[in-house]
Structure 1
Amino acid sequence: MTLSHDLAGEGPSAVVLLHSGVCDRRMWDAQFAALAAAGHRVLRCDLRGFGESPVDAPHTHSDDVVALLDTLEIDRAAVVGSSFGGAVALEIAARHPERVSALALLCPAVPDFEPSAELRAWGGREDTLLEAGDIDGAVALNVDTWLGPEAGAEARERVRVMQRRAFEVQLAAPEEFRPLDPGVGAAELAAIGLPALVVSGAHDVPDFREMATRLAALLPNAQYVRLDWAGHLPALERPEETGKLLVEYLAAAPGAPRAAV
């Protein structure tokens, strides 16, 4: 299956945008346009089980993205990931390093991270709501948890729509079509020598703040940025500012793709 996707821009460099687990490719509207305007060829996709990409077989998200790059004849790209998309970006860099020029990780999840008791309890509340058929309650729980104080009504509604869609797609999928373990742990992450921007939000859930600081220390070529205003989804909380951050990072990072001059 080819992941549902959009392309913009005609520059010689490529950038891939990977969404968070409560969103789909629509979360990147502002950054998709900003990166294309800066001279990059920009790809955003719905990972399997999100947006318009159904769950139709067992799969590994990183392999799905690389297969999409093959289909589009993109040899190498900077990979930008938000939250769950950050974990997928790390898996691509660990398993297919020749396909990645740089990483930008916004409040990333980290493969093989052991969640705290508090985050496990949160997951239990979500499971209880879903098992009871209370999709609205599960959506509201996610919206209230993952958006920081800068998020207005429009951002909250956008996450509400995208999260509901993800639940609909995933709950309809057979159990045997769950994602496969990509086999990426701390040793594989420590071997990623690519330039990497690791962004943390001051108002994010504690587990994700810890993941960001650990990851920045683990990756040998990482730059760490803490956004004092951000929760877990800076791309939706301050879209233009996040777009500017990404454009400027890709213009300066050693080895990252350069836009046409």
Structure 2
Amino acid sequence: MNNSEIGNIIDVKGINTNVHDLGSGFPLLLIHGSGPGVTAWANWRLVMPELANTRRVIALDMLGFGYTERPKDQSYTMDRWVQHTVDLLDTLEIEQADLVGNSFGGALALALTIRHPQRVRRLVLMGSVGVPFTITPGLDAVWGYQPSLETMRRLLDIFAYDRSLVNDELAKMRYEASIRPGFHESFAAMFPAPRQRWVDAMASSEADIRALPHETLIVHGREDEVIPLQTSLTLAQWINKSQLHVFGRCGHWTQIEHSQRFINLVSGFLVEADRLQSTH
């Protein structure tokens, strides 16, 4: 077991939640994606330390993922995930945070911002779900994962443009994570076939998205085979105060494949917000 994956286990309204909490300053909440064996640490390990130089970085394992407790009923909905995230902010006594959502985490960040607009200062959506699209073969394969090292290797080929970044060591780590007690059971319960309905269930309404007043940074990999680039183009059209950055030679993991560029981009976007806040 990789102890780095475990931060602090804290009680979030009765749910033991694994949380990494680094640095100090304005809070930045990182919400991971939904791949098999995912944890906050696996998703964000390359960017957390540097982002934490200038702000308080919080990354949690979402309900049913990683080292956070799994609900007995194995029932997972966007309502439940949003509530768990808001409950975490309440538990940590954080009134407002910047949010970064990756893939599934993007849909969650979007839904949270729509329902609790005052809790969010700025929004970053990366390879995000949250608008209607036809499920890709890549996403269908990710959500339909049946544990084996070979299958995990194939999934990493789908996730990354540059295979050298996702070596066999990462495949082994993610595979071993996916077969820990309880991990696959909860994962299999989240997205059973037919899987288009889960894409649809994660989408927020166009009217709600268009009504968002938040400054939003949208990031996508041009070669993403999991979530089509079109989703980010749609978000960029619907969100009034948005900017879109597309990384070439990049698959679904911008924060892993282009980690330094991702850090620079997000830092610049948030520093602007810090500056504006300090002048008011």
What TM-score, normalized by structure 1, do the two folds share? 0.82
State the secondary structure of the residue aligned to 2:124: strand
Cross-structure match for 2:133: 114
Give the Cα–Cα distance (whole angstroms) in 1 for the partners of residues 88 and 254 of structure 2: 26
The structure whose RCO (Cα within 8 Å, separation 6+) is larger is 1
Indicate the RMSD between aligned Cα atoms, in angstroms.
3.1
**1:140 matched to 2:153:** yes
**1:25 matched to 2:31:** no
1:20 is displaced (CA, Å) by 1.6
Deviations 1:89-132 (A, max 9, x none): 10110111111001011111125x2324xx158626963x62xx
Which residue, out of 44, 53, 61, partners 1:37? 53
Question: Quick check: 2:139–2:226 contact (8 Å CA) kept in 1?
Answer: no
Cross-structure match for 1:161: 173
% same residue: 23
Relative to 1, partners in 2 of residues 1:123 and 1:95: Cα closer, same or farther, differing over 3 Å?
same
Give the Cα–Cα distance (whole angstroms) in 2 for the partners of residues 65 and 230 of structure 1: 29
What TM-score, normalized by structure 2, do the two folds share? 0.77
Give the Cα–Cα distance (whole angstroms) in 2 for the partners of residues 125 and 245 of structure 1: 27
Question: Quick check: 1:107–1:232 contact (8 Å CA) kept in 2?
Answer: yes
Bigger mean CA deviation after superposition, 62-71 or 225-234 = 225-234
Relative to 1, partners in 2 of residues 1:143 and 1:28: Cα closer, same or farther, differing over 3 Å?
same
Question: Quick check: 1:16–1:78 contact (8 Å CA) kept in 2?
Answer: yes
State the secondary structure of the residue aligned to 2:133: coil
Question: Quick check: 1:49–1:55 contact (8 Å CA) kept in 2?
Answer: yes
1:30-179 equivalences under 5 Å are 30-38=46-54, 40-56=55-71, 57=73, 58-59=75-76, 60-111=80-131, 113-116=132-135, 119-120=136-137, 123=140, 127=144, 130=146, 134-149=147-162, 151-153=164-166, 157-158=169-170, 161-162=173-174, 165-166=177-178, 168=180, 169-173=182-186
Q: Structure 1 stretches of 5 or more lacking a match?
A: none
Q: Number of paired residues?
A: 248
Question: Quick check: 2:153–2:171 contact (8 Å CA) kept in 1?
Answer: no
1:53 is displaced (CA, Å) by 1.4
Relative to 1, partners in 2 of residues 1:122 and 1:153: Cα closer, same or farther, differing over 3 Å?
closer
Bigger mean CA deviation after superposition, 144-153 or 17-26 = 144-153
State the secondary structure of the residue aligned to 1:173: helix
Relative to 1, partners in 2 of residues 1:192 and 1:164: Cα closer, same or farther, differing over 3 Å?
farther
Question: Quick check: 2:40–2:60 contact (8 Å CA) kept in 1?
Answer: yes
Q: Structure 2 stretches of 5 or more lacking a match?
A: 1-14, 193-197
1:48 is displaced (CA, Å) by 1.6
1:174 is displaced (CA, Å) by 9.7
Amino acid aligned to 2:140: G
Amino acid aligned to 2:17: L
Cross-structure match for 1:16: 29
1:173 is displaced (CA, Å) by 3.4
Give the Cα–Cα distance (whole angstroms) in 1 for the partners of residues 170 and 187 of structure 2: 27
Question: Quick check: 2:138–2:225 contact (8 Å CA) kept in 1?
Answer: no
1:206 is displaced (CA, Å) by 7.3
Relative to 1, partners in 2 of residues 1:251 and 1:151: Cα closer, same or farther, differing over 3 Å?
farther
Bigger mean CA deviation after superposition, 240-249 or 182-191 = 182-191
Give the Cα–Cα distance (whole angstroms) in 2 for the partners of residues 193 and 35 of structure 1: 25
Deviations 1:3-25 (A, max 9, x none): 210111122x1100111222321
